[in-house]
Chains A and B, each alone.
Chain A
Amino acid sequence: MSTGAVIEFTSISKRFGGVAAVKDLSFTVEPGRVTGFLGPNGAGKTTSLRILLGLVAASSGTATFGGVRYRDLPHPLKTVGAALEAASFHPGRTARDHLGVYAIAAGLPRTRVMEVLTLVGLAAHAAQRVGGYSLGMRQRLGLAYALLGDPGVLVLDEPINGLDPEGIRWIRGFLRDMAAEGRTVLVSSHLLSEVQQSVDDVVIIARGELVHLGPLSSLDTDAAPQTIVESPDREALAAALTAAGITFSIGRTGLLAATGDPALLGHLAFTAGVELSVLHRQKAGLEDSFLALVGGGHTL
């Protein structure tokens, strides 16, 4: 394995015709961590990754691996492994031959092909034509391609799309393992919930622009904490809250009190002699912060 390199985007912009797909995007991705590259569909994630990999020419700016552009890497597949979409293969070629072609091109030993197919759980289907593969199997084959050169940097575009629950659990563990080995792991997704269990850092873009950058916990802003409280005698509870000056709204499972302190509500109810049936703090969803950042609701 080659060591993980720092990925660096410096003022990347890209225009397609008159449309700006990416605007002045700058961020770095550190080795040893899983970085989620998040944003709604059409935010410019795939374009940014394709610029990083030299497949799309940036209108301005540079994207590098340890300071070197992709096309200048002496051994690209041994340095960076990328899985972009689930359909980059000839349907009439077997999985083994598909990987074999690129192993030859990159000067990698042919034994590596079966190793990576085994690693992603496709060894039994190695001699099958890829045209007959399910979407999940194609995702795994894409991942096998990324791993061919045992690279120190992994760039994966929506790797969870199309995976079954067992596959999703597998890839989460896989991403963590890769980062634990010191590799740089950049994973894009349009759904925070898909990757929030595996990422350390998040880079969030919307409409081609960077909107948030930081550790996952930085999304847990908790600006407006809420606690759900419910009683068999809801009127008495409401009166107690009003008396204490705590505003609330009526939710489906109880009253949504505008406080992040359940103990306060418990004490209030106890002193007012109101029996409680529900009392728990509403976790301010990371997803909510995410949606607020990307402009709300445009996840489709």
Chain B
Amino acid sequence: MTMFLRSVSAEFAKIFTTRLWWILAIVLFGYIGLLAGGLAALFAGIQTGVISPDAVNTGGGPTDFGSLPPLIYSFASSVGYVFPVLLGALATTGEFRHQTLTPTFLATPRRGLVLGAKTVTLVLIGAGFGVVALAASVGIGGGVLSAFGVDALLQGAETWLLVARTLLAMGLWAAIGVGLGALVPNQVASIVIVLAFTQFVEPLLRLAASFLEVTAKIGNFLPGAASDALVGASVFTMASPAGTAPLDWWQGGLVLLGYALIATVIGYAVSWKRDVT
């Protein structure tokens, strides 16, 4: 046990002694703050009539977005999830790229324990990224909603449940990143996969899947959809035409956990336990 705890603190030290974590955290905060603040202003403006519906090309779509706060707050995970994935993937692939697996495995020869320690560490730091993302979506987005006279629902238990589930989702995404990094140790390839999948492939798949009921059920198991189900709200579910019910929050959480476990276990076998040359 002490060996595991030492390994976890060493993994924390690895993250916090390089610059990547705070660069990603700053970009995350800025990105989510801009998006949540901007869209909070737009939606709240339309909903409260400050912005005339005639001025907006909604294509005959809704001008009532339902309860705005959860939608705005969920940007923390529905858009921000790529950041913990990147941090996790870079933490793992960096070990291959900079050949630091050698000193790591010399200091702690039990490799499974090291990978476990890395996962635990990144789950906690991923949740920390969740705090940063929520500070942006709730702090800035909620502030803008209040400015438009929309109740930011900061007293509501629902809001704080969403906050808690967002932290869990962000932690699990970081674990998926660790697993992916072990699965695809080439750092450039790993980054390309993360960006292409999260920004392009999965949104398209979710959209395509949503048109038929049967594919929509399968689409619910895509990692992004599972994450949104866990958090309980997302701009993507709002945009889904077929209207199939998403997974329950706990099912979404288990699906995410499943992705993380599968990627990590396969990654352990294909790269982590191999010869370090």
| A residues in contact with B10, CB < 8 Å | 101-102, 104-105
Stretch at the interface among A30-38, A52-60, A114-122, A178-186: A52-60
Stretch at the interface among B48-56, B102-110, B153-161, B195-203: B102-110
Contact, CB under 8 Å: B104 / A50: no
Contact, CB under 8 Å: A57 / B107: no
Q: Which of B13, B107, B110 contacts A106 (CB 8 A)?
A: B107
| B residues in contact with A76, CB < 8 Å | 106-109
| B residues in contact with A104, CB < 8 Å | 6, 9-10, 13
Contact, CB under 8 Å: A88 / B102: yes
Provide the bound-state CA to CA distance between A57 and B19, in Å.
34
Separation in Å of the A167 CB from the closest CB of chain B?
A: 21
Stretch at the interface among B93-101, B129-137, B233-241: B93-101
Provide the bound-state CA to CA distance between A253 and B34, in Å.
82
Given contacts A54-B109, A105-B10, contact A97 B277 (CB under 8 A): no
Contact, CB under 8 Å: B275 / A56: yes
Number of A interface residues in the complex (CB < 8 A): 35
Interface membership of A87, Cβ < 8 A: yes
Q: Which of A47, A53, A73, A102 contacts B104 (CB 8 A)?
A: A102
Interface membership of B26, Cβ < 8 A: no
Stretch at the interface among A77-85, A227-235, A238-246, A263-271: A77-85
Which residues of B256-277 have CB atoms within 8 Å of chain A's CB atoms?
275-277
Contact with B along A90-134 (1 / 0, CB 8 A): 111110011011101111000000000000000000000000000
Given contacts A71-B109, A100-B17, A101-B14, contact A107 B6 (CB under 8 A): yes
| A residues in contact with B102, CB < 8 Å | 55, 84-85, 88
Q: Identify the closest chain A residue to B117 (Cβ).
A: A105
Interface membership of B2, Cβ < 8 A: yes
Interface membership of A70, Cβ < 8 A: yes
Interface membership of B57, Cβ < 8 A: no
Interface membership of A145, Cβ < 8 A: yes
Given contacts A50-B276, A92-B18, A93-B17, contact A85 B99 (CB under 8 A): yes
Separation in Å of the B117 CB from the closest CB of chain A?
A: 9
Best-surrounded residue of A71, A85, A106 (most CB of chain B within 10 A): A106
| B residues in contact with A248, CB < 8 Å | none
Contact, CB under 8 Å: B109 / A73: yes
Interface membership of B7, Cβ < 8 A: yes
Provide the bound-state CA to CA distance between A89 and B103, in Å.
8
Contact, CB under 8 Å: B9 / A56: no
Provide the bound-state CA to CA distance between A57 and B276, in Å.
9
Separation in Å of the A12 CB from the closest CB of chain B?
A: 14
| A residues in contact with B98, CB < 8 Å | 87-91
| A residues in contact with B19, CB < 8 Å | 92
Which residues of B99-145 have CB atoms within 8 Å of chain A's CB atoms?
99-100, 102-110
Which residues of B221-263 have CB atoms within 8 Å of chain A's CB atoms?
none
Provide the bound-state CA to CA distance between A71 and B108, in Å.
8
Q: Identify the closest chain B residue to A58 (Cβ).
A: B275
Provide the bound-state CA to CA distance between A84 and B277, in Å.
10
Q: Which of B17, B106, B110 contacts A53 (CB 8 A)?
A: B106
Separation in Å of the A159 CB from the closest CB of chain B?
A: 15
| A residues in contact with B2, CB < 8 Å | 107
Contact with A along B155-186 (1 / 0, CB 8 A): 00000000000000000000000000000000
Q: Identify the closest chain B residue to A108 (Cβ).
A: B107
Q: Which of B6, B17, B20 contacts A105 (CB 8 A)?
A: B6
| B residues in contact with A89, CB < 8 Å | 98, 100, 103
Contact, CB under 8 Å: B99 / A87: yes
Provide the bound-state CA to CA distance between A103 and B256, in Å.
34
Contact, CB under 8 Å: A55 / B18: no
Contact, CB under 8 Å: A105 / B18: no
Contact, CB under 8 Å: B17 / A56: no
Q: Identify the closest chain B residue to A70 (Cβ).
A: B109
Q: Identify the closest chain B residue to A56 (Cβ).
A: B275
Q: Identify the closest chain B residue to A99 (Cβ).
A: B103
Contact, CB under 8 Å: B7 / A105: yes
Provide the bound-state CA to CA distance between A285 and B130, in Å.
67
Q: Identify the closest chain B residue to A51 (Cβ).
A: B275
Best-surrounded residue of A47, A97, A101 (most CB of chain B within 10 A): A101
Contact, CB under 8 Å: A54 / B13: no
Contact, CB under 8 Å: B18 / A101: no
Contact, CB under 8 Å: B100 / A97: no
Q: Identify the closest chain A residue to B16 (Cβ).
A: A97
Q: Which of A84, A85, A87, A94 contacts B17 (CB 8 A)?
A: A94
In order of increasing CB-CB distance, the 4 nearest A-B pairs are A105-B10, A97-B17, A71-B109, A105-B107
Given contacts A56-B275, A105-B6, A105-B10, 10 further A-B contacts (CB under 8 A): A50-B276, A55-B275, A71-B110, A85-B102, A87-B99, A89-B100, A89-B103, A90-B100, A102-B10, A106-B108
> Which residues of chain A have a CB within 8 Å of any CB of chain B?
46-47, 50, 53-57, 70-71, 73, 76-77, 80, 82, 84-85, 87-94, 97-98, 100-102, 104-107, 145
A-B contact list, 18 entries, CB within 8 Å: A50-B275, A55-B276, A57-B275, A71-B109, A76-B106, A76-B109, A80-B106, A90-B14, A90-B98, A90-B100, A91-B98, A92-B20, A93-B18, A102-B103, A102-B107, A106-B6, A107-B2, A145-B103
